[in-house]
Amino acid sequence: MNSARLQPLTYWLLLLIGVAAPMLFPDYTNQIAVLWLMIVFALTWDILGGQMGYNSLGNIFFFGAGMYVSAVTQIGLYYDVGMYTSAARTTHIAFSYSQYFTGFALGTVTGGLVSAVLAIGVGSFVFGLRGPYFAIGTLGIAVAAAELVSSWEWVGAASGISLPVFPGGPETQKLFFYFLLFALSFILLLFLRWLYSTNFGLAINAIRDDEEKAEGMGLHTRGYKRTALVIAAFFLGLSGAIFGNMTGFIEPRDIAFPTTTFNIFMVLMVLLGGKGTLWGPVVGAVVFHVIKEVTWTYFLGWQYVTLGLLIVIIVVYFQQGIVGWVMEKYPERFGIQIAPKEPEEIPRTAGLATQPGGAE
């Protein structure tokens, strides 16, 4: 009851914050835009890591793939990609207003779709792995992708690609990408809220709790697992395409496939906020982003030490995360009931066995 009335309000509130933030804190528009990206990261990671119990360390692959596919599409529509990437450092190549937006729209959609298709391929072999092997296997894919792209001259290799320049003032550009990332994270949140309320949510939770049992019950486990990865990959691909255009310059190791930063942040944010919950990743992303911005500003040089400490503290002392902790503390607010501790079982079960309906 309580949470049912509370819920629509939270979404409206989030919408309000999202729209008002760049007007209230115009100096921080970019930082808040990145926060929305972080929320997309956390939410997509939680689909597999939290709800389905498959801890992936390679989700960044789909982010980078979306980014590169989008870049290649945007450029390829009007120029030869190989020529562009080799000439970009010496010549300024202009895109007209309509060329930019057509390319951007098409590129972003293609980025999302290609990532989703790649997920079908990736899923067909990584889901043979379980537990830590799944984590390492997926990490391998992300690392390999970074190395491959780094030596692929056609897409600029390690020196990257400069994307078409936004045809507008810097303020418009900021707001444009801010609202795109905000819309993406907000739509993703609403989509997942719906998704987790369907059989899909139940099925991936069942896979998390006992995959062998789920197989024994005839569940199409492989289909669910693959679809979960495809959904995560699609949204990550879109976010990659948008973020690539936001930064204006992409390269494989630090921007497209940053296995040690964004890739680890995804996991960390979800653990911090509470995995397997809808709002946990959102809360985790907000808290993490604030911590990160503060440490990066005031403890520069020590930021990775702080980050490492945070990882150790969460993993050792705070595994359930913020939302998980609140749910443990006040389960009834979330509609969860835990069986009361019953030291004596005999009287109740005796009633169960002999008198129908006399169980309680």
Give the binding site for other proteins (CB under 8 A): 195, 197-200, 202-203, 205-206, 208-210, 212-221, 223-224, 227, 276, 335-339, 342, 345-346, 349-350, 352-354, 356, 359-360
Closer residue to other proteins in complex, CB, 163/214 = 214
Query: Distances from the Cα of 265 to the Cαs of 132, 273, 313, in angstroms?
Result: 18, 12, 15
Is the CB of 207 or the CB of 256 nearer to other proteins? 207
Between 26 and 222, name the residue whose CB sits nearer to other proteins: 222
Residues 6+ apart with CB under 8 A from 256: 63, 64, 67, 68, 146, 149, 240, 244, 250
State the nearest-atom distance from the C-beta of 55 to other proteins, in Å: 16
Residue 323 CB, shortest distance to other proteins, in Å, is: 14
Closest CA to 265 of 24, 45, 18: 45
Closest CB to other proteins among 208 and 289?
A: 208
- Shorter beta-carbon distance to other proteins: residue 6 or 217: 217
d(CA 240, CA 124): 23
Tokens of 213: 């049992």
Residue type, 25: F
Q: Closest distance between other proteins and the C-beta of residue 332, in Å?
A: 10
From residue 312, give the alpha-carbon distance in Å to each of 105, 252, 269, 280: 41, 28, 13, 19
Closest CB to other proteins among 51 and 138?
A: 51
Alpha-carbon distance 290 to 20, whole Å? Answer: 18
Q: How far is the CB of 263 from other proteins (least distance, A)?
A: 26
Name the minimum Å distance from CB 80 to other proteins: 39
Q: Quote the least distance from Cβ 107 to other proteins, whole Å.
A: 28
Quick check: 63 and 236 in contact, CB under 8 A? yes
Strands 249-250 and 161-162: antiparallel
- HSE-up of 115 (CA within 13 Å, CB side)? 34
